[in-house]
Amino acid sequence: MFEFKLSAVCGKTGARAGEFVTPHGVIKTPVFMPVGTLATVKAMSPRELEEVGAQIILGNTYHLYLRPGMELMAEAGGLHSFMGWNRPILTDSGGFQVFSLARLGKITDDGVKCRSHIDGSPHMMSPEWAMEVQQILGGDIAMCFDQCIQYPTTRDEATQALERTTLWARRSKDAHNRPDQALFGIVQGSAFDDLRVRSALELIEMDFVGYGIGGLSVGEPHEDMYRVLDVLNPIMPRDKPRYLMGVGYPPNIVEGIARGVDMFDCVMPTRNGRNGTIFASFGRMNISGKKYERDFSPVDPECDCCLCRNFTRAYLRHMHRCGEILSARLCTQHNLRFAIRLAERAREAILAGEYPDFIKRFHETFKDGPTNEEQT
């Protein structure tokens, strides 16, 4: 179980195409994983997720622990049956929520004392807690409890978080005993190259099924992200999947793949979709723009999603401005399709031995920013 088979490796970049075997199916990599924090990818039914080609989705330990709670999750028979999704699931460990909801949390080597963002009730999160919850949720892949840290940070703070993350990885592994669930370690170390190497080596020593790269996409410049990936690429085990956590900005995906990353997840397609920001083959656009008022062309002529095949920009803009639910659904569907297809196309390019060319073409066509978005 959990075999990771490399199908092709790019000769000029670090890009890899592989297949990762899990209890709920084989995941073809590189892969983009939609985020479904509360046992639902917002605005998408499982059926629609399959339609956009989602191979695996995320669930969130911290959020599901608070609501609906573990007693109910156990009674439901785990996340798969609870939400009616029978493809693979990866559960986040809650470590990131310690970071993102940090306000009144107190972090020690033991774990994190924090208060619920819903009702203020006190809770204790720890590696043991994270493993217990994730094993009840029953995802195909569980993540170690880690300490994510803000950017920028001092070397001392980054070192402390790294050491704690290693400590917690050991405790996570000890507490994890579900053989049908893979456990991934998480590399920390902020933007310090040597700390990243140290973190990775300490985790590799423990021999996890796969490795998350955490603590990136927290506001650092893209060069920092790419450099860290460049540093990690040669030392990460070749035969294990690598997961760049929280990354979903399309250029980051393309460049991440070039640096050996196999898996990505991000809220960007779904959250931005709900707010009318669309990622398309020509770049980024915001559908609320006045310039689309009378634009009766499809959002992205090169896209095969429900939105692009059936509706116009003018119609979508109208719905979005009115706050209509369908706008959120269609934009979400499109953005997910785009991210997933981006990974799919990258995979095809890698298999064909054409990934460097793929990168070049992507950067030529995907334009960001308000001035040079547009046109196909």
Task: Return the residue of 28, 113, 170, 271 that touches RNA, per CB under 7 A.
Answer: 271
One character per residue 209-238, x = contact with RNA (rule: CB under 7 A): ---x-xx-xxx--x----------------
For the chain, count helices (H), then strands (E): 15, 16
Structure tokens that stand for 189 in this block: 């170390």
Angle at 16 between CA 15 and CA 18, to 5 degrees: 160
Assess 58 for contact with RNA (CB under 7 A): yes
Residues 136-175 that bind RNA (CB under 7 A): 143, 146, 148
Task: Return the residue of 29, 55, 97, 134 that touches RNA, per CB under 7 A.
Answer: 97
Radius of gyration of the chain (CA): 20
Q: Is the dihedral of CA 127, 174, 193, 260 positive or negative?
A: negative
**Virtual CA dihedral for 241, 246, 252, 257, nearest 10 degrees?**
10
- State the Cα–Cα distance between residues 16 and 261, nearest whole angstrom: 8
Number of residues that make up the chain: 376
Size of the site for RNA (CB under 7 A): 63
Q: Are 358 and 270 in contact (CB under 8 A)?
A: no
Active-site residue, 265 included = yes
Segment lying near RNA (by CB under 7 A), choices 46-54, 231-239, 308-316, 319-327: 319-327
SS3 state of residue 9: strand
Segment lying near RNA (by CB under 7 A), choices 13-21, 233-241, 267-275, 302-310: 267-275
Task: Return the residue of 27, 35, 169, 258 that touches RNA, per CB under 7 A.
Answer: 35
Q: Which of 92, 146, 262, 300 is catalytic?
A: 92
Assess 192 for contact with RNA (CB under 7 A): no
Structure tokens that stand for 312 in this block: 């116009």
- State the Cα–Cα distance between residues 333 and 115, nearest whole angstrom: 34
Task: Return the residue of 169, 186, 232, 331 that touches RNA, per CB under 7 A.
Answer: 186
**How many C-beta neighbours within 10 Å does residue 283 have?**
18
Query: Residue 38 CB, nearest distance to RNA (Å)?
Result: 7
| Rounded alpha-carbon distances, angstroms, from residue 137 to 62, 185, 310 | 11, 18, 37
SS3 state of residue 110: coil
Assess 100 for contact with RNA (CB under 7 A): yes
- State the Cα–Cα distance between residues 31 and 243, nearest whole angstrom: 9
Assess 88 for contact with RNA (CB under 7 A): no
Assess 195 for contact with RNA (CB under 7 A): no
Q: Which of 146, 262, 265, 300 is catalytic?
A: 265
Active-site residue, 92 included = yes
φ/ψ (deg, to 5) at 283: 135, -150
Task: Return the residue of 47, 179, 369, 375 that touches RNA, per CB under 7 A.
Answer: 369
Of residues 24 and 42, the one with the C-beta less far from RNA: 42
Give the residue numbers annotated as catalytic, written as ranges. Answer: 92, 265
Interacting residues toward RNA by CB under 7 A: 35, 37-38, 41-43, 58, 60, 63, 92-93, 95-97, 99-101, 117-118, 143, 146, 148, 186, 188, 212, 214-215, 217-219, 222, 245-249, 252, 265-268, 270-272, 274-277, 284, 286, 288-291, 321, 323, 325, 328, 332, 368-370, 373
